[in-house]
Amino acid sequence: MTSYPYCTKNNIPFVSLSRKRQRRHYIELKNQIRRTSGVLRCVSCICDRMNKEKSWMDGYFLSKAPPLFYILTLKTTRHAYREEIWGAAIDRSIALVSWEREKGIQQQTSLNHRCSGRNREKTWTIHPKCPTFPEFGGLSRIDWATQQEPGLANSGDYHVVENWSVQRDYPFGIGLIASIDVPFLTIEAVIDFIQRFLDGGELDFTSDNNLYYTYAEIADISF
C-alpha cells in the first residue's frame, strides 16, 4: 500500500498550494482508493495504518469538494481514554522525578582510554536506558507509571468525549483528528464516521456526553 508524505518540500500548507498541485495529489489518492476498493470494500477512503486492537488508524478520504481530501487520524474513545490515563500517570511520575534528572543519568557514559604503543584498550561504563529511582520504589519510570494506571482509570476522575478537529495547516491534504464512540474501528464504523463528518459540513465537533471506562475495558489497548 502506498504511504503518502505528510510534508511537501517547502512545507507549504496544502490549502495554500496551487490548484494544479492540489489536483495532482487528489488524483493520486483517488486512484489509490480505486485500486484497493475491491479489498477494503470502501470506495471513498483508504486505511494506511491500524493497530492490532483496531482502536486506532491513519487513513485518507476524499472531501465533497475536489481536489480537497483529508488525512485522518481516527481512534476509539476507549483508546483516547487509555492515552488520557497514561498521560496522567506520566505527569505524576514527573512530579516525583524530572525528565532532566533521568536524562542526565542516561547520558552518564564514561570512557577510560589508555593507549600504549599499538595496544589500545577501551572500557565503557553504560548506564541503563531506563534507570530506576527510589521515588518509584526501585522501579523505572515506565514500570511505575504502568502500575498507576489501574487506580487512575478506575478513579472516575478522568473522562473523554467523542470529538473531531480539522487541521488546515498540514502540508499534504487537510488533517482530521477524531475520537468516536465505537468498540472497534470496523470498515462500517469508519465509513459511518466519514459520512457523518461530510454531512455535518466538515466542521469541528465535540460531544457533551462524558465517557468513562474501567481499566479492564482499556487494558488490552497498546500504543
Sketch the domain layout of the chain as residue ranges. Answer: 14-80+158-218, 97-153
138-169 pLDDT, tens digit per residue, is: 999 999 999 999 999 999 999 999 999 999 98
Residue 19, C-alpha cell as written in the block? 490548484
> How many of the other CB atoms lie within 10 Å of CB of 21?
14
pLDDT, residue 129, reads 67
**CB under 8 Å to 49, separation ≥6 — which residues?**
57, 58
Q: Average pLDDT of 182-206?
A: 92
pLDDT, residue 139, reads 95
Cα–Cα distance between 113 and 99 in angstroms, integer?
Answer: 30
Q: Average pLDDT of 190-207?
A: 93
The percent of residues in the chain predicted with pLDDT above 90, rounded, is: 50
Task: Say if residue 110's pLDDT is above 50.
Answer: no
61-108 pLDDT, tens digit per residue, is: 888 888 888 989 999 999 999 999 999 999 999 999 999 998 887 666
Contact status, residue 24 vs residue 191, Cβ threshold 8 Å: no
Contact status, residue 11 vs residue 171, Cβ threshold 8 Å: yes
Q: What is the pTM of this model?
A: 0.78
pLDDT, residue 103, reads 82
pLDDT, residue 92, reads 97
CA angle 187-192-198, nearest 5°? 130
